[in-house]
Amino acid sequence: MTRLDLPVRPLAPLLEMHLGAGIRAAQRLHGGDISDTFRLDTTRGPVVLKTSPQHAGRRLPDGFYVAEAHGLGLLRPGPLVTPDVIAHGSGPAGQPYLLLSWLAPGDDTPAAQDALGRGLAALHARPALGFGGLPDNYFASLPQRNPPAGSAAEFFWTARLEPLLTRERLHLTPRDRAGFDTLRERLPDLIPPEPPALVHGDLWHGNVHYTPRGPALIDPAVGYSHREVDVAALQLFGGVPRRVFQAYHEAYPLADGWEARVPLWNLYPLLAHLLLFGEGYLGRTREALHGVLDSR
């Protein structure tokens, strides 16, 4: 193994046992801030290893990869590709790991973009029993609750916004917090009634991959919520062509005004980024909040 593979070395014997194959090389993959991620080239082909970052103070919470594996399982089998979970557990000194199948890269073509929109619509059209009701999991490295709720508005407030608003280090002013109090009162009128849907939960463009088998989703933070959660997240950091949303809307039409509600749903990931990465996200959070409040 190369110098870059130090986090892999203690896990190698355990991983080779899971794989029934020897590890020939490891290559660090870029993207994401949560895990150290590697492509492992083995005698049976490539796989992906995710393990806890080795930087001081950045150990993953207990059960992190268990939750990710569960989320991938809920998305399978489905209209969109997801990696197979090969194994997860803890290695020497409690080092957690998740071993996944390798997704070969494919082309981001117009046809693939259409397939992403249609596939996401088909995922959201699956019947669901209610809002919430899944085991708790994680959004990035933040704990994410999934209690049962009676409506999309109740779930979005009690399971998503409120838990973050009670955290410290948000840099919110009294005016900001008063705005969230107002939002809580208005939520039932802002969110159109729809049946619950299984959502990926963290569907920014970096968690979409194009493969020869079709568009793929990785790194889920699943929940039974309102489907506009995923549609909005695809627009949070750009990078997703308009035709994806056109294909989605043709397959499963969105309620009137969905584009105006994008800032509403993205308050959750913006608050999470504010908590994780600091006040550089404060301006966007305020803009989204007051844009929602001023729109009514």
How crowded is residue 273: how many other Cβ atoms within 10 Å of its Cβ?
Answer: 19
CB 44 within 8 Å of CB 19: yes
Q: What is the spatial distance between Cα 211 and Cα 43, in angstroms, rounded to a whole number?
A: 22
How crowded is residue 265: how many other Cβ atoms within 10 Å of its Cβ?
Answer: 27
How crowded is residue 101: how many other Cβ atoms within 10 Å of its Cβ?
Answer: 15
Looking at the annotation, which residues are catalytic? Answer: 202
CB 143 within 8 Å of CB 136: yes
How crowded is residue 266: how many other Cβ atoms within 10 Å of its Cβ?
Answer: 22
From residue 209, alpha-carbon distances to 76, 205, 218, 246 in Å are 16, 8, 8, 19
Among candidates 79, 110, 105, which has minimal Cα distance to 242?
A: 110
Q: How far is residue 97 CA from its own chain's centroid? A: 18
